[in-house]
């Protein structure tokens, strides 16, 4: 069965520091991978996605993620964190066909200290 | 663009009461979904629909019913609410198939927070 693991429940970084959020997945075929962000009291917003091709994908708000098939990972990175990046981040995996039924990780809460 | 609209945003119920959450989308999406979000568990799929008049069970369907009488609306019902159903519920919609352009990824509503006492 497909699954997504986000090992870090909480992460705290200083403003201006770099960030890496980890995501590992288990999936029987080539997965489609996503990162979503949820600000407090808001819905989920798509940050970036990987379908195929270049394994380093760029997203909105200066985020990027790298797909590593050998490690079954899709880690999210940002070179310099801003206070407004404080939110909860979800990694998700899904199939191409039949209904886009994404499986989500448990989420990582990012705190940014000034 | 309204996107995906959920009503109500907040609701408090007593155990055993019933209620319906409404999801409406204006993007002409074929597929619609209901997820619940609980701390430390991410989002779990309750039910989904691949088109008007069709519904299917997701990962955690027990205690919920859904209906998709119109393409733009997807209703989630709780017939007899239980404290275990206290959660934040998210509706989402999409086109049927992911394509590299990414135009048809899931679009989420803002959520409905339900508390069952």
How high is the mean pLDDT of chain B? 91
Interface mutation target, options B59, B91, B106, chain A, most CBs of A under 10 Å: B106
Residues in chain A with CB shorter than 8 Å from the CB of B105 are: 34, 46, 49, 100
Please tell me the predicted confidence (pLDDT) of residue A30: 74
Please tell me the predicted confidence (pLDDT) of residue A42: 83
Residues contacting A84, CB < 8 A, separation 6+: none
Residues in chain B with CB shorter than 8 Å from the CB of A43 are: 4, 90, 108-111
Cβ contact (<8 Å) for A45 and B33?
A: no
Nearest to A37 by CA among A1, A78, A70: A78
- pLDDT tens digit sequence for A14-33: 999 999 999 999 987 778 89
- pLDDT tens digit sequence for B69-112: 999 999 999 999 999 999 999 999 988 765 655 556 788 999 99
Q: What is the DSSP letter of B40?
A: T
SS3 B85: helix
Q: Which residue of A has its CA nearest to B56?
A: A99
Gap from A60 CA to chain B (nearest CA, Å): 13
Distance in angstroms (rounded) separating the CA atoms of residues A9 and B39:
10
Gap from A100 CA to chain B (nearest CA, Å): 7
Please tell me the predicted confidence (pLDDT) of residue A101: 74
- pLDDT tens digit sequence for A48-104: 988 888 899 999 999 999 999 999 999 999 999 999 999 999 999 887 555 557 889
- pLDDT tens digit sequence for B3-43: 999 999 999 999 999 999 999 999 999 999 999 999 888 89
The torsion of the CA quartet B9, B113, A61, B44, rounded to 10 degrees, works out to -130
Distance in angstroms (rounded) separating the CA atoms of residues A47 and A109:
15
Please tell me the predicted confidence (pLDDT) of residue A89: 97
């Amino acid at each position: 069965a497909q699954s997504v693991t986000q090992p870090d429940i909480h992460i705290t970084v200083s403003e201006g520091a770099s960030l890496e959020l980890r995501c590992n997945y288990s999936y029987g075929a080539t997965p489609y991978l996503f990162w979503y962000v949820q600000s407090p009291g808001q819905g989920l917003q798509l940050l970036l996605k990987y379908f195929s091709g270049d394994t380093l994908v760029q997203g909105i708000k200066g985020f990027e993620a790298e797909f590593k098939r050998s490690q079954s990972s899709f880690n999210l990175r940002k070179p310099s964190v801003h206070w407004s990046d404080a939110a909860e981040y979800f990694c998700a995996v899904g199939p191409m066909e039949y209904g886009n039924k994404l499986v989500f990780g448990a989420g990582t809460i990012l705190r940014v200290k000034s | 663009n309204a996107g995906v609209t959920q009503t109500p945003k907040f609701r408090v119920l007593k155990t055993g009461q019933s209620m319906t959450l409404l999801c409406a989308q204006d993007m002409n999406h074929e597929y619609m979904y209901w997820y619940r979000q609980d701390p430390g568990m991410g989002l779990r799929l309750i039910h989904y629909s691949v088109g008007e008049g069709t519904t299917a069970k997701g990962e955690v369907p027990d205690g919920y019913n859904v209906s998709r009488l119109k393409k733009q609306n997807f209703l989630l019902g709780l017939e007899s609410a239980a404290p275990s159903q206290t959660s934040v519920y998210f509706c989402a919609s999409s086109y049927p198939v992911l394509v590299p352009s990414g135009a048809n990824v899931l679009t989420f509503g803002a959520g409905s927070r339900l508390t069952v006492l």
